A and B are shown apart, each in its own frame.
Chain A
């Protein structure tokens, strides 16, 4: 990619991006192309990270383990649903992922947790997400009972309109009241430690790119 094109891209992305400054955006773009590979060779093809590559990043860099959540994070990043994350999706996704305000993160998390994307987190979805959260006790007759109970507890806590499922409004209200519930159904945001490592690594020396 030539410098002019990159310049333009950076300008574009910086304009739309709230939480990164120009040099940071540059770094992210640079990182993106590093991850994707040498773009110059395939100028026309769809440029982006596919599901596996992205999951790999989530796993290695941000220590995420839950496959389903990682899938959902990918889908949330992939705004145009084309199965791969392009450079603007990458930068815009990371904005929220790394530095989003509470509201932005709330929205992001809700999207992640709303497995089928119908605007509600249903009991089934919750069950699905929580099913590995409890240590299975062999003594119990129904191993799922604990999970079901946990789902009920969560509903009781977060379902303000008592419709048996969580709307975004419910979710937002609950998070506002107790920030801890932001990642209520599994870690979908970087933990502060890996976030710090990532940022210090990527934004290490922005001057390197100034003359690209």
Chain B
């Protein structure tokens, strides 16, 4: 027992002496075994059960005296057993909360009394008596070592032959047995558990990484290792922690809780003490329960994780499964007669119906995965326990051979990125062999000819295969399931041009299927296709590029294209103008250069969805070529070109290049195209580029505003509408553009779009109106067209991007007193005010900005503000935010609120002065300006001037005068002027060198600033004079 308890049981690291048992599954298991032992002791060895311990086992119990019944004498706080020893001492004595027990019999009774809390009692008992053997049998038994036990026992028996010792011996042996049993048991338990290993942990983490990032749909914000260095055994923990079975530490930032620092050890994962701030060391102490894996832990800790995870669950599980398990699941499903229905998984396109149908019908006759893992699969399919062994079996050999390790790691790292929508499709192969469609057999036959035929037969087979409906999933999957994909990809590696062409023609079609794409990448098809891009046959290049365009729809594929140098080659395809020296003779398999360029653009479009690829395209000199191609008039060409540009315009580098390459002109030109898809991509590209002022001007100069305004009338195509409204929004940031839009009557149309549109459109429409309404004429137009009502109605939405824009637009409208009256009537101010509670800081800030003109222009504003119950307190409390924009906006709102004396009194009571004073130390000019304004307003009440001085707001304010922003100067000078009414503040200002700074301001061309600065100086001067006077008189 001793050995098991000291070695196997997991004591908390802290304080070994008084240590407590950790609550781990292993400890629980040990305790349970001990309980069983004690409970059975009384039946198995009745005589020994009566043996009185040398020393009582003592611990603190939770049991109430009232729980004891017959066989005990009990008072309110004590219980004595009726059973006594030779000296008349009770064998069990409880004096709340201490309990002493002196025999196994009593221990067993106690446990039966404890019922549900058995485990707790046993734990307390073990914790209270770190060496139970010594207490039970006396110290001489405690010293027994395993090796000498038999000898010891013999000696004992020889030494004194009395009855008691015999029993003692027997108990000693029994305890020894228990000890052994416990050790064995724990061992068994440990091996039963799938203990984590570096490979599985790494895989988990990489998977989670792929699901992480910004945005609402991801499961986590970020997850990363604390250390980049990976030891050769796959662990990242420092060696002295690896001894404890710890493998790595990860920092996880879930959406809803603080950063979690997690230890991954072989026993499971748990929270540790986190990173200590100064040296970046980790506090290794365990701070939570042990969970079986990361996902379980995170589910427990983060609600958003568990929620988003359940959405991803299916995909995730799918990813996690090794091929063998996947196969296993298939089998299980086949056994239970279940077939995955299309509703079970995220479906992406129209094929899901066919798929369920297929699932029942096709059979994996030449399944490449099954072949590989067949042996392991067989051994692991029996039951769940063996399944676990199966998994261990699988990982172990892979660790022993260097080569295979690489391989597994590669697959792991690859699978990590399979997160994108189109990879979400579970890879299902068909099991039941009944009812296969006739195509399946025909395709199987053709694949046979492909494999066993010469060039002629191969071409015939390829041509015949092409006649099947390759858009249909039945055929796509049939080709794969009969092993056709391998053959097709192998053909690409031959010298036979005709075979390559035929094969690519088929691959191009079937790669529309997401599963096939993944299979093509798995089979290493991409590098071969990339190398074909170098071919001298244009039609081959075209086909290869088109197939790449289809395959590179997911991250891993895009990465593969880049890593094999595909981006450079694809960019080279765009360069059709320079290859104009066509060979005199055109061979049979040639196409036009334009077509090559088009296919290249198509492939680049697919590839350009990855950030690194965008960079690679730029580096390969793709932008000038795209700009060149943009001058053509073929729609087929323009769509992929503009699509690529639009994808890439998310990068700052590109936007600059797009401007430099004069691409905007052509984008604008193509807005006039007939093709809606082309229009959409052009508008989208303009939308992304028009953040830049010069670009906005270019759009106007090239006459792009009119087509944009005209496109607003096409309300049927929502994608187009969203892109167009987006472009209008960004363009209308420039005043000149707004004037044009007004000319084109775009504002009226925009107002009309405020209702019954999808959110993507609404966000842009409202954003555009918000920009337009910065001007008086437009505000009038919006009001006249009845735009205010729908705008106010949108204030109740939940989309935060929309809310930011709506509040801005409403705020812009509120500048007009007449519009304000309407907003007030619609209760818009209350809605705005309630948005101050929105969790998004952007919305808060935007709402607070919008409130400013509302308060300014509302009739009876003071009364209105007071009518919002708790509203003022809410505003004041927002000063505790840590977002600069929120703070600035709230300061501005407070400035407006404080214009009303009563309200100023209320916010003063809510402690606005100390809060404002606390913010004073800032370098943000926007915040400084509004803060100074708020301070100057708040000085108007009671002893607030003095209070600002007491809260040390004056000195930092003086420093604002050193800022470069005149607005800050004006606001600060005014604030200082107000503050200088108090003598102490004057002293502080003077001490901080305000006078010199203010003297400079007096010379400013800004009148208000002049006046305020002069006023402030005069106050300071007057104080000085008064002091002098007082001194000399």
User: Which residues of chain A have a CB within 8 Å of any CB of chain B?
Assistant: 19, 99, 102, 105, 130, 132-135, 137, 146, 149-150, 153-154, 156-157, 178-187, 191-192
Contact = CB atoms under 8 A, between A and B. Distances in A.
A153 B464 contact: yes
B459 A181 contact: yes
Contacts of A132: 454
B539 to A, nearest CB: 9
A137 B452 contact: yes
Nearest to B462: A180
Interface string B459-474: 1111110110000000
Nearest to B465: A153
Given A134-B449, A149-B445, A182 B457 contact: no
Interface of B: 445-446, 448-449, 452-457, 459-464, 466-467, 497-498, 501-502, 537, 585, 587-589
Contacts of B502: 180
B722 to A, nearest CB: 41
Contacts of B497: 191-192
A22 B186 CA distance: 95
B456 A183 contact: yes
A182 B460 CA distance: 10
Say what secondary structure dominates the interface of chain B.
Answer: helix
Given A150-B457, A157-B463, 20 more contacts: A99-B585, A105-B588, A130-B456, A134-B449, A134-B454, A134-B457, A135-B453, A153-B460, A154-B460, A156-B464, A157-B460, A157-B467, A179-B589, A180-B498, A180-B502, A181-B460, A184-B456, A184-B460, A185-B456, A192-B537
B468 to A, nearest CB: 11
B743 to A, nearest CB: 54
A154 B707 CA distance: 54
A178 B466 contact: yes
14 contacts: A99-B585, A105-B588, A133-B456, A134-B453, A149-B445, A150-B460, A153-B446, A153-B449, A157-B460, A178-B466, A179-B589, A184-B460, A187-B455, A192-B587
Contacts of B455: 187
Contact of A153 (B461, B498, B587, B589): B461
Contacts of B537: 192
A149 B448 CA distance: 12
B449 A180 contact: no
A133 B453 contact: yes
Contact of B456 (A99, A186, A192): A186
Contacts of A178: 463, 466
B457 A180 contact: no
A153 B442 CA distance: 10
A102 B585 CA distance: 12
B453 A182 contact: no
Contacts of A102: 588
A183 B497 CA distance: 12
A137 B452 CA distance: 9
Contacts of A130: 456-457, 460
Nearest to B539: A179
Nearest to A19: B585
A177 to B, nearest CB: 9
Contacts of B463: 157, 178, 180-181
A105 B461 CA distance: 22
Contacts of B453: 133-135, 150
Contacts of B464: 153-154, 156-157
Chain A CB within 10 Å, residue with most, of B463, B464, B498: B463
Chain B CB within 10 Å, residue with most, of A19, A134, A182: A134
A62 to B, nearest CB: 14
Contacts of B454: 132-134
Nearest to B589: A179
B498 A183 contact: yes
Contact of B459 (A135, A137, A184): A184
Nearest to A147: B457
Contacts of A146: 448-449, 452
Nearest to A186: B456
Contacts of A179: 588-589
A139 B446 CA distance: 18
A102 B587 CA distance: 9
Nearest to B505: A180
A19 B586 CA distance: 12
Nearest to B452: A135
Contacts of B461: 150, 153
Nearest to B496: A191
A96 to B, nearest CB: 13
A134 B452 contact: yes
